Structure 1
Amino acid sequence: MSHLAGTSNTSSSLSSVLSSTASTCTISAWDIDGGLAADFDGSLSGLGSELGTSSYNMSEALLALPVFKQENLENGFQYVLGAATSPAVKLNEETLTYLNQGQSYEIKVKKLGDLSDFQGKLLRSVIKILFHERRLQYMEKEQLDFWKQIRPGERILDLDVPLSYGLIDARNDSNALNSAEFVWDPTKESGVYIKVNCISTEFTAKKHGGEKGVPFRLQIETFLHGDSSKLQHCASCQLKVFKPKGADRKHKTDREKMEKRSESEKEKYQPSYECTVLTEMSPEQFYQPATPTNSVSSSGSFSSLSKQPGSFSSTEMDDGSTNGTSTLLPSPVCSTPSPSPSLSVRSPAHIDVVSPPPSRTGPLPLCASAPEVIQWLQQNRFASFTRVFQNFSGADLLRLNRDDLIQICGLADGIRLFNALQHKSVRPRLTIYVSQESEVVYHAIYLESLQSRELILKLAQLYNIRPEHILDIYIQGPSGIHILVTDDVVVNIQDESRLVVEGLKDESNDHYRLLLKAVE
């Protein structure tokens, strides 16, 4: 009976802590858009009297949640993302947090428990935006490489250095678009602001009617500064990123759906919280991508940030668009492609066509040696079969037929390896033919992602224009109207269309607006 009484008291205590934590973090369906307190811990000071205690410690309350382990208090870490969780997530599912593209969000970082062993020591934390689903994790390198081709010079994850505080050093990883790191003192209050610049739908196939975006994983890994051999702690949370203001609209939609549910149905769903506490990851959950993790560059680093901690505020990014006077530039009069004052045409041989990842390294040469075969297998995502084919030359491997490869590698990988060896190209999703008005020769443009950004990149390559100098692309519609080319417009362009390109140059600078006119 004493054992049962102890269990009851423990459950009651835990229930009390959970109840108090929920009362501080849970937000009502009517208050989700409200701002958060400037000092999240300080804002809870008044709750102690309500609970009948002299003080209230948010860190201890958070440690009572399942995401933390009470027995490992001395090794506990806490990362709190200043973004609300969705109310439309069932109890048995992982929490889901919505972010706006390009908006700054705060992450408070803390070392909990006894800090005596950390006096005079620094910690280094690495923040990564990864794929949450295992299916996409296996293709992560190819997906990120393709994103880099479509959006050159841009990053998936950026640190917002001016808003961050209490850090010793912070920088973006020049070798990984989705990674950044910072150094912090565990004995002081620290917070880092991040921006996620890609949206979840950029990694889904474009189909009519739209698709749900893929979930990302925000993952934070912490090490002792100067010693990366031992991982001190790792935690993560599930994200979806929307276009600016899209996360707010999604929260509103989720709230409206929950309001329509019966009380019994609402009990099956998690409450929404003002903040997202990253969940500690077990070793089997920890995912380390195969991308290179070289040292980061000094770009964007800073020696010290003394800025006082702020609230979980957000800053909308400026549109950046300019309104200038555009003039129609003359097209060259020539029968073959040649440089012109308006759009300088390059030879089609110099046009970089985005190829599917497996074939980007080219076919396997017949004369390849055994080490070259191993290298080719690794570059084309067949690293698991390097031991099987370690003594094969290029000729040996190319002699194997489709059935041989299926028998050796299994059905899926066997077919994939056979296609890669035969260097079978994948048909582009959209082919268009473009020319300037006075030309008789057309240039083929192949699109893989069906995104307006990809079309801008291809046209910039063809006409030797910097992509950032193309402000907009229009397509001529009924009665000669100019229709802004968006992703949806690209999806609906008829395959193998013939289009004439006109350059509308901004008189004040070297920027262009391109007009595409269909050829009857």
Structure 2
Amino acid sequence: MLFWHSQPEHYWPTSAEHYQNPASSIYRETIQLPFLKQEDQPPIVPQCPSFQCVLRASSSPAVKLHEETLTYLNQGQSYEIRMLSNWKGITEMSEGRRLLRSVVRVVFHDRRLQYSERQQLESWQLNHPGDRILDLDVPLSVGVIDPLVNPNTLNTIEFLWDPSKRTSIFIQVNCISTEFTQRKNGGEKGAPFRIQVDTYKADSHGGSTEHLYSCSCQVKVFKPKGADRKQKTDHEKVEKRSALEREKYQPACETTVLTECAPWPDTDATRSPHSTPNNFRTPTPERACSSPVCALTAPLNAREQSLGPSASITETQQWLVRNRFSNYCRTFSNFTGADILKLSRKDLTQICGVADGIRLAHSLTARSVRPRSTLYISTERTEKKHSSNDTSQTVYQEVYLEDMTAAELTTKIADLFGIPANHIQRISKTGPQGIHILLTDTMVRHITDESCFTASLQKLPDSDGYHCILQ
């Protein structure tokens, strides 16, 4: 009779505890030889693997003993994967470089779908623009260092972690199993997935070339709360069977241990995440851009520029990134400025969703924000003053104020004169009877909009600074 137990809740079992190993474990049972006394042999202690990943989700009770476990997940719900390590090689690593790189991916379990994985993912992306199949819930994760997202793969995330410290990642699977079947007959008829974790050791050059461990488990993804209903249904079906038949099924465990498997055959797996140009850091909730043109730099004042009909494909992509629409770079990868401007508000909401569609429609038609105050200033040196009545030779320049502070006005005036802002040590305004009033933030806030001034610089004695006078 077989005895089953709940999988461990603590972070790492002791060597005396029973350990579940995959069917293809390298540890073989001792052969019972009839001519040897068993009591003379040393007791067998189960060896503890170097790594283990535990998914905090209950396995299905309707799986037979000789079959692989099956776990049900809810779409978009965060599930914890505990990264457990008993690796002895950590002692050989330096204190500052005790980091391992792990890649988590959601792939198809059926071989038929594996052959057409690329077409399946592209079809899913067209129906869900801007979304990802696999996301990392960064606020809930513990011990995750430098999480990275590859914008060219929607089903992959990677991160660095210290095997000597507690590490838990929380993942979200945003697709459901029935989206990849020809007939939508319910979640139980949907395509099963595999969650696979590959772990690598960093080399002296910062790359991750040495493979350490790979593990995976079979899952099915349902619509919200569908996994809970399916788990309950399976439990009721098994309970209706006789006691003899129930012994043929695996009991449901509160957690799912990922079994060891072969590493994923990915050509980019050995590449350093920091040297890959298509990987983007994700320290903020905003998702990474799905187009390589997002890495292109842009001028600082480009945000003020609107998207014109003559904009090329590259300029259109840059405009999307600058205006926080990087999620839709791939959706509009072949659109010029004229193509996007032809889309109506209804078209944009259908492509980008209601919230982002309305925001994109407003950004395409929005005018530049009007400054809080506009001043007209004429610059002249003290040695080239004009008479107060000679206005025909005076040329004024516009100065726009957004913050309405003396420091902002000082910077604007320094730009007009072409000198560093720190060279203007004092700025004053001519008051009644020719007195000089020191300019403060309060005075700037009360300057009448569209006022005209003549700015002159006076060299301060025993100093490289200037005194700016506004008349």
Q: TM-score, normalised by structure 2?
A: 0.52
CA distance in structure 2 between the partners assigned to 1:274 and 1:220 by the alignment: 20
Change (3 A) 1:275 1:74: closer
Larger Rg: 2
1:34-433 mapped onto 2 (5 Å cutoff)? 40-41=9-10, 57=13, 61=17, 63-66=19-22, 76-114=50-88, 115-118=90-93, 120=95, 121-207=98-184, 212-225=189-202, 226-282=206-262, 286-288=263-265, 297-301=279-283
Give 1:75 deviation, angstroms: 6.4
Q: Deviation at 1:58?
A: 5.2
How far is 1:288 from its partner? Answer: 2.6
SS at match of 2:219: strand
- How do 1:360-509 residues align onto structure 2 when only pairs under 5 Å count? 464-467=347-350, 471=354
- Write the deviation string for residues 328-384 of structure 1: whole angstroms up to 9, x where unpaired: xxxxxxxxxxxxxxxxxxxxxxxxxx9xxxxxxxxxxxxxxxxxxxxxxxxxxxxxx
1:214 aligned counterpart, secondary structure: coil
Checking the alignment, whether the CA contact within 8 Å between 2:195 and 2:217 is kept in structure 1 is yes
Q: Distance in 2 between matches of 1:221 and 1:231?
A: 8
Is contact 1:184–1:190 with CA below 8 Å preserved after alignment?
A: yes
Same amino acid, percent of matched pairs: 47
- Aligned letter for 2:279? S
Equivalent residues of 1:130, 1:217 under 8 A apart: yes
Deviation at 1:227, TM superposition (A): 3.2
Cross-structure match for 2:407: none
Q: Is the 8 A contact 1:76 1:113 kept in 2?
A: yes
2:236 alignment partner, SS class? helix
Once the two structures are TM-superposed, the CA of residue 69 in structure 1 deviates from its matched residue by: 5.0
- For 1:370-412, what per-residue CA distance to the aligned partner results, in whole angstroms no more than 9, with x for missing partners? xxxxxxxxxxxxxxxxxxxxxxxxxxxxxxxxxxxxxxxxxxx
For 1:208 and 1:77, the matched residues in 2 are separated by: 38
Task: Quote the Cα distance in structure 2 between the aligned partners of 1:135 and 1:461.
Answer: 40
Task: Rate the CA distance shift 1:161–1:208 in 2: closer, same or farther, 3 A.
Answer: closer
Aligned residue for 2:66, secondary structure, equals coil
The 1-side partners of 2:244 and 2:349 are apart by 58
In structure 1, distance between residues paired with 2:156 and 2:252: 28
Aligned length: 276
| Secondary structure of the corresponding residue to residue 465 of structure 1 | helix
Task: Give structure 2 stretches of 5+ with no counterpart.
Answer: 29-45, 285-330, 332-342, 363-471
Please report how far the alpha carbon of residue 112 of structure 1 lies from its aligned counterpart in structure 2 after TM superposition: 1.3
Q: Is the 8 A contact 2:78 2:172 kept in 1?
A: yes
- State the one-letter code of the partner of 1:257: K
User: What's the Cα RMSD here?
Assistant: 3.7
Distance, in Å, in 1 between the alignment partners of 2:144 and 2:79 is 16
Unaligned runs of 5+ in 1: 1-14, 27-39, 43-55, 303-353, 355-459, 473-504, 511-520
Q: Structure 1 residue 232: deviation in Å?
A: 1.2
Give a deviation string over 1:110-168, Cα, whole Å, max 9, x none: 22153423453210000000001111111011111111111110000000000001122
Distance in 1, Cα, partners of 2:17 & 2:87: 13
Give the whole-Å Cα distance in 2 for the aligned partners of 1:227 and 1:221. Answer: 15
User: Could you list the per-position Cα deviations for residues 257-294 of structure 1 after superposition, in whole angstroms to 9, with x for gaps in the alignment?
Assistant: 00101111111111111111000014xxx443689985
Residue 366 of structure 1 corresponds to which residue in structure 2? none
The amino acid that maps onto 1:232 is: L
Supply the distance in 1 between the matched residues of 2:141 and 2:264 (Cα, whole angstroms): 27
**Contact 2:103–2:156 (CA under 8 A) maintained in structure 1:** yes
Q: Distance in 2 between matches of 1:131 and 1:171?
A: 22
Question: What per-residue deviation string (whole Å, max 9, x for no partner) do you get for residues 408-434 of structure 1?
Answer: xxxxxxxxxxxxxxxxxxxxxxxxxxx
8 A Cα contact 2:70 2:217, kept in partner: yes
The answer on whether the counterparts of 1:89 and 1:269 sit within 8 Å (CA) in structure 2 is yes
Change (3 A) 1:254 1:208: closer
* Distance in 2 separating the partners of 1:181 and 1:124: 7
Q: In 2, Cα distance between the equivalents of 1:208 and 1:161?
A: 34
Indicate conservation of the 8 Å contact 2:148/2:157, yes or no.
Answer: yes
> How far does the alpha carbon of each residue in 1:278-336 deviate from its partner, in whole angstroms, 9 at most, with x for none?
00014xxx44368998555334138xxxxxxxxxxxxxxxxxxxxxxxxxxxxxxxxxx
Task: Measure how far apart 1:61 and its partner are.
Answer: 3.3
State the shift of 1:229 in Å. 2.4
Structure 2 residue identity aligned to 1:269: Y
Q: CA deviation at 1:230?
A: 2.5
* SS of structure 2 residue aligned to 1:264: helix
